[in-house]
């Protein structure tokens, strides 16, 4: 067994796994405050990537395109909360499941009509020539995924821990009704979480598109993996999604090499089933004790 090959496969896979982790983190942000998820998160990644590409085509420099695309993602997240989640939460129904799925399908159709169905290259100033680290080839593009994903997750975690609004986030996450009694608007906090979640989706789109190209179906594959990562890690552990995302990416690559390329999806499935059987609240999740 060649250690260099194992290292190459593990590193390449783990770097890609950070994209799963970033999208999974978007799931966590909204689940923490509202116990709801945006099942159209993949489509949000895709639409944001197309919008970012359009900004670039219009001549916006990269440094300006990124904040504009993040702003678009945040606004799109807010729109999802307003259109598909708020009413269902007010009525304490699970309607948000269907509504977010439908909204995702709508975004898919709209994108196909607006931008077509072709995969398109995503220009980036980051060079794609590989560099060799300890005999392992990595590209600056892959490293940018890692740096960008970890940076934004770190910043949001810092926001949650160090600011008053961030602490409100934690309070609503722990007990929304108690938080309301303390004068914290849970509605505004849920909106904020959806805004963050949309911005995170946009960042995932910007980071991954130069590697994967931009196309209407790009979100579907990523979001399934990301959802597995969120469930396996536990829906309340930011650290967990990073570890599980990287592990899943590495396992997929290794399975693809050693078992054959047709077995690439197997580790995710095994990991999901095993975790749900042994720790239904996730590897890094906390079991909630409910008093009756």
Partner 1 sequence: MVLRSLSSLALVLAVLPLTGADTVKIALTGPFSGGSAPMGLSMRDGARLAIAEINAAGGIQVGKARLRIEVLERDDEAKNERGALIAQELSSMPDLAGVLGSVNTGVVMAGDKHFQEKGITKIITPAAGSQSMTQWSQAGVRDLSIFRFAAHDGIQSSMVVAEAQRRGFEKVALLFDSTNYGVSGRDDLVREIAAQGGKLKVVAAEKFNIGDKDMTAQLLKAKSGGAQAVLIWGIGPELAAVANGMAKLGLKVPLIGGWTLSMSNFIDNAGRNGNGTLMPQTFIEEPINPRVKAFIDNFHRTYKVTRMASPVSAAQGYDAVLIFAAAVRQAQSTDTHRIKEALEDLKEPVKGVIATWVHPYSRWDPNREETHEAFRKEQTVMGMVQDGRVVFGNPADRERLARSDKPVPPSAPSKVRKTR
- Give me the residues that bind partner 1 (CB under 8 A), please: 2, 5, 8-9, 12-13, 16, 112, 116-121, 128-130, 132, 137, 139, 211-213, 215, 217, 221, 253, 256-257, 260-262, 264
Minimum CB distance to partner 1, residue 221 (Å): 6
Minimum CB distance to partner 1, residue 164 (Å): 42
Q: Which is nearer to partner 1, 129 or 177 (CB)?
A: 129
Q: Which is nearer to partner 1, 134 or 278 (CB)?
A: 134
Q: Which two tokens stand for residue 74?
A: 């945040």
Q: Which is nearer to partner 1, 7 or 166 (CB)?
A: 7
Minimum CB distance to partner 1, residue 235 (Å): 27
**How far, rounded to the nearest angstrom, does the alpha carbon of residue 60 sit from its chain's CA centroid?**
25
Which residue in 36, 76, 53, 11 sits closest to 218, CA to CA?
Answer: 53
Q: Which two tokens stand for residue 95?
A: 């309607």
Q: Which is nearer to partner 1, 12 or 48 (CB)?
A: 12
Instruction: Give residue for tokens 């949309």.
Output: 198
Q: DSSP string covering 90-133, please?
A: HTT-SHHHHHHHHHHHHHHHHHHHHH-SS-B----SS----EEE
Minimum CB distance to partner 1, residue 121 (Å): 5
Q: Which two tokens stand for residue 53?
A: 């590409």
What whole-number distance in Å separates Cα of residue 167 and Cα of residue 164?
A: 5
């Amino acid at each position: 067994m060649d250690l260099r090959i194992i290292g190459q496969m593990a590193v390449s896979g783990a770097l890609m796994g950070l994209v799963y982790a970033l999208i999974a983190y978007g799931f966590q942000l909204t689940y923490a405050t509202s116990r709801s998820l945006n099942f159209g998160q993949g489509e949000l990644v895709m639409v944001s990537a197309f919008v970012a590409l359009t900004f670039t085509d219009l001549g916006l420099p990269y440094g300006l395109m990124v904040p504009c695309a993040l702003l678009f993602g945040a606004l799109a997240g807010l729109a999802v909360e307003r259109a598909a989640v708020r009413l269902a939460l007010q009525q304490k129904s699970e309607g948000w499941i269907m509504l977010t799925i439908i909204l995702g399908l709508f975004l898919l159709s709209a994108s196909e009509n607006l931008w077509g169905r072709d995969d398109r290259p995503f220009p980036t100033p980051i060079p794609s020539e590989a560099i060799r680290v300890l005999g392992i080839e990595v590209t600056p593009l892959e490293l940018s995924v890692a740096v960008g994903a970890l940076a934004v997750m770190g910043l949001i975690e810092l926001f949650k821990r160090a600011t008053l609004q961030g602490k409100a986030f934690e309070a609503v996450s722990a007990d929304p009704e108690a938080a309301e009694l303390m004068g914290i608007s849970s509605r505004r906090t849920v909106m904020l979480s959806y805004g963050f979640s949309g911005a995170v989706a946009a960042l995932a789109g910007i980071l991954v598109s130069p590697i994967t190209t931009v196309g209407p179906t790009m979100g579907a594959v990523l979001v399934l993996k990301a959802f597995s990562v969120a469930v396996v890690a536990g829906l309340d552990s930011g650290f967990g999604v990073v570890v599980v995302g990287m592990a899943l990416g590495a396992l997929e690559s290794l399975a693809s090499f050693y078992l054959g390329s047709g077995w690439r999806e197997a580790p995710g499935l095994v990991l999901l089933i095993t975790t749900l059987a042994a720790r239904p609240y996730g590897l890094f999740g906390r079991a909630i004790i409910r008093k009756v």
